[in-house]
Amino acid sequence: MLNTICQSPSTKLSPGKKFKLSLQNQNQNNKQPLHIVGTINAFTALLAEECGHQAIYLSGSGVATASFGLPDMGMTNLSDVLEDARRITSCTNLPLLVDVDTGFGGVLNVMRCVREMERVGVAAIHIEDQIQSVKRCGHLPNKQIVSTEEMVEKIKAACEARVDSDFVIIARTDALAVEGLEKAIERAKQYVNAGADMLFPEACTTLEEYKAFVEQVNVPILANITEFGKTPLFTGEELASVGVSMVLHPLSAFRAMAKAAKNVYESISKNGTVEPVLSTMQTRSELYEIIEYKKYEEKMEMK
């Protein structure tokens, strides 16, 4: 992290270029999809980097729940997401994919969203075709989507707004659950024709559905493998077998953290001590290693 703070921006590839290279290297060299792991804050981004991941993710649901204690129903705004994104990009050089929901409004809002995301060092965004006023988690029922024409205009606006041509714009479609596979694929083709670099078909339930998108839409496909949703927990190998390029794990670590935190709180309430759960905790030395405490201390002593 200290190197991130001290490094000159001119010496780095753009975030979007790093995202594309990570995807290319993973697909070509390892013949596997790129696993993109959810990070709800700066520290979890450092943990992901420590574990060797090559790309990270900020979930809109994660922002709503972890930062505001709200459900993922369109109640957070661009500024809310930007602040969490800025904190993450400030501590890691890993390329960050951000969930920007519907772009937070019409085409002008989408253009501002893209410019602000680029400004804080985000590598990629995905924008969805749900209706903002009734937006809900992609794995819940009763979703509503905008017209294909409206989404196409948003994608065109996003492409026009980006300064870095490598900034990645991923079109997410929730049409599968609403209109069926054939119409969802037709939408996807139009989104790509409008300029989307990659495609995120939400809530697929079979490998055959992913394969249909891969074969008929000529861009990298992202599979959202979120726990307790409509999509089975397909492995990277299974998804690679049908040509999927990216696997998203949006809130896996957050769910584990939440369960662990509840166990600690319950232990204190029940036992009056943390002793029974001490073995589940990260130690102080492990924490200091992740945040490079000694390097900061050495810098202080040099003054």
Please confirm, yes or no, whether 72 is among the known catalytic residues: yes
Please confirm, yes or no, whether 174 is among the known catalytic residues: no
Please confirm, yes or no, whether 202 is among the known catalytic residues: yes
Question: 53, 162, 172, 187: which is the annotated catalytic residue?
Answer: 172
Question: 128, 129, 174, 209: which is the annotated catalytic residue?
Answer: 128
Question: 84, 101, 116, 174: which is the annotated catalytic residue?
Answer: 101
Question: CA-to-CA distance for 152 and 141, rounded, in angstroms?
Answer: 24
Question: 53, 91, 109, 126: which is the annotated catalytic residue?
Answer: 126
Please confirm, yes or no, whether 265 is among the known catalytic residues: no
Question: 129, 174, 202, 209: which is the annotated catalytic residue?
Answer: 202
Please confirm, yes or no, whether 101 is among the known catalytic residues: yes
Question: 49, 53, 72, 197: which is the annotated catalytic residue?
Answer: 72
Question: 99, 129, 174, 197: which is the annotated catalytic residue?
Answer: 99
Please confirm, yes or no, whether 91 is among the known catalytic residues: no
Please confirm, yes or no, whether 297 is among the known catalytic residues: no
Please confirm, yes or no, whether 57 is among the known catalytic residues: yes
Catalytic positions, written as ranges? 57, 72, 99, 101, 126, 128, 137, 172, 202, 224
